[in-house]
Chains A and B, each alone.
Chain A
């Protein structure tokens, strides 16, 4: 029996103790993109073709949120029985972007409100096992409620 953890998508976030999203930053104008990608800067005033991988802020504030009460269709791999889960759109102040993610299991709509401070964590999206008893946990970034900070 062994368990390994892999990201459910490559290169979008780190899987360390203090995980962060990996975006892109234009080498010329300095604007940000997420998800990360190579190629042209999205700013129409900028002609740069270089987006440099960049760690994004781990903290932001809730722009909006919802809670799914029904299992989404494939290619989502819903657990059976399905457990409701929340999705949170979080605004990152420095980067000026809003990023949609799930909340950790057990954090539901009543636990959230617009403007609340959130922190990036990771959680298991789905699990696969093979005949050799090896289990693979496919990990995804999540937005978890964070302690308020004095402003």
Chain B
């Protein structure tokens, strides 16, 4: 075991769905599940790393202290991380830093959300200096608009088809069928996707992930703490890498919520694009590569974006993701299953919980506890997220 590895002693989730309840209720259920999984009690937790979101019109700003209060004040130290879709990974990194620095031995990482119906919209009020407000006001540039720009690039550059995108949905809907935490547990066919209405051309309703309620939590500890509790750490999943890097100037790909990219007129673009670099940093830190991975949980905000991730993760060369999908390699039973949980396709997005949920799936798979969606002999897995304001993350877990 590497000196900088953390032990994942427990994971837990509240199923994803759409109820509109208080998000702290979901969080508490996920937290209790993770504690039970770890064989620990709430009073054993020395640090709570909360993943934040901003949900206008809902119970407001989610923070570490929100959960500490919900579970009952114990004087526990807290942190609160906002990194949009990567908030959960940034919270994990905060917990990791605190444990590795010796400030605590056992931490809870937690995220929960309640989402409104329909398109995500910016926080209210007239905010003419906020690019996230302006992109809606001046352009009507919703999140699916940006997803669609990437999908269209795959079509015009690589010859991807609407059927290719639909096959991602077909695969993920099968993966999620037996996942008790998934919100959508219904098989989709290519025809189902192609018959669903176009939202932002070329993407259709079933190509785009929904917005969901949900919560996920994990208990991470120092090696010493885990050894004392568990004895042997054989077969116990460890966090090997947490990448939460930002882009390198100039960022030349148009990303949420920007009106324009950086300029490459004076400084040449970096060797690796932003999303490639997120994954590369995780591999470097873990001392592992794409060939060492048994699986990947990626941020399939749209079907086409899952294909982009195959390339960012180094699972195939640029332009070859459709071929990799069609070969069956990314289906459970294939060489490198992607989104064995069913992904965002089956969950919908509960922003601050999602990056934590990805790690929960890797942990269940690595322990052989994934039931009907189990990947045989899983040894290591990688997650990838990217969201608003150039926040991205990648986490590697192995046994």
Report the Cα distance A132→B140, complex, angstroms. Answer: 29
Cα distance, A96 to B347, chains bound together (Å): 38
Query: Which of B118, B137, B258 is in CB contact (< 8 Å) with A75?
Result: B137
Per the 8 Å Cβ criterion, residues 158-202 of B in contact with A are 197-202
Is B152 within 8 A of A65, CB to CB? yes
Q: Contact between B200 and A98 (Cβ–Cβ < 8 Å)?
A: no
Check if B136 sits within 8 Å of A75, measured CB to CB.
yes
Residues in A whose Cβ lies below 8 Å from that of B258: 100
Instruction: Find chain B residues with CB under 8 A from A87 CB.
Output: 139-141, 145, 149
CA distance A114 to B133 in the complex (A): 27
User: At the interface, yes or no: B261 with Cβ under 8 Å from chain A?
Assistant: yes
Quick check: is A45 within 8 A (CB to CB) of the other chain? yes
In the complex the two chains form, what is the Cα distance from A95 to B250 in whole Å? Answer: 12
- Known contacts being A64-B150, A75-B122, is A100 close to B250, with CB within 8 Å? no
**Cross-chain contact of A33 among B150, B157, B201, B263 (Cβ < 8 A):** B263
Would you call A98 and B261 a contact (CB within 8 A)? yes
Pick the residue among A44, A77, A94, A100 that contacts B249 (CB under 8 A). Answer: A44
Instruction: Collect the chain A residues with CB atoms within 8 Å of residue B152's CB.
Output: 64-66, 114
How many A-B contacts if CB must be within 8 Å?
145
A interface residues, how many (CB within 8 angstroms): 48
Asked whether B200 lies within 8 Å of A67 as measured between CB atoms, the reply is yes
Q: Is A52 an interface residue (CB 8 A)?
A: no
Which one, B43-51, B264-272, B277-285, B286-294, is touching chain A?
Answer: B264-272
CA distance A65 to B259 in the complex (A): 13
Size band of the interface chain B makes with A:
35 or more
Chain A CB within 8 A of B121 CB:
yes
User: Which of B138, B141, B202: most chain A CB closer than 10 A?
Assistant: B138
B317 at the interface (CB under 8 A from A): no
Q: Given A66-B200, A97-B261, are A29 and B142 also a contact pair (CB < 8 Å)?
A: no
Query: B156 in the interface, Cβ–Cβ < 8 Å?
Result: yes
List the B side residues contacting A71 at CB < 8 Å: 140
Residues A72 and B136 in contact, CB atoms below 8 Å apart: yes
Looking at the assembled complex, report how far the CB atom of A44 sits from the nearest CB atom of chain B, in whole angstroms.
5
- With contacts A64-B152, A65-B149, A87-B141 taken as known, whether A75 is within 8 angstroms of B133 at the C-beta atoms is yes
Is the C-beta of A35 less than 8 angstroms from some C-beta in chain B? yes
Are B145 and A68 neighbours in the complex by a CB distance under 8 Å?
yes
**Which residues of B are found within 8 Å of A63, using beta-carbon distances?**
149, 153, 254
B109-161 residues at the A interface, CB under 8 angstroms: 118-119, 121-122, 126, 128, 131, 133-142, 145, 148-150, 152-153, 156-157
Q: When the two chains form their complex, are residues B264 and A96 in contact, meaning their CB atoms are under 8 A apart?
A: yes
B22 within 8 Å of A by Cβ? no
User: Cβ of B149 and Cβ of A64 under 8 Å apart?
Assistant: yes
Knowing A45-B267, A97-B260, A114-B156 touch, does A140 contact B138 (C-beta < 8 A)? yes
CB atoms of B126 and A75 under 8 A apart: yes
Chain A residues within 8 Å of B, Cβ to Cβ: 8-9, 26, 29-35, 42-45, 63-78, 85, 87, 89, 94-102, 109, 113-115, 125, 140
Taking Cβ atoms with an 8 Å cutoff, the residues of B that contact A are 118-119, 121-122, 126, 128, 131, 133-142, 145, 148-150, 152-153, 156-157, 197-203, 249-250, 252, 254, 258-267
A-B pairs with beta carbons under 8 Å apart, 13 shown: A30-B266, A31-B266, A63-B254, A66-B145, A66-B149, A69-B198, A69-B200, A73-B119, A87-B141, A100-B139, A109-B202, A114-B152, A140-B139
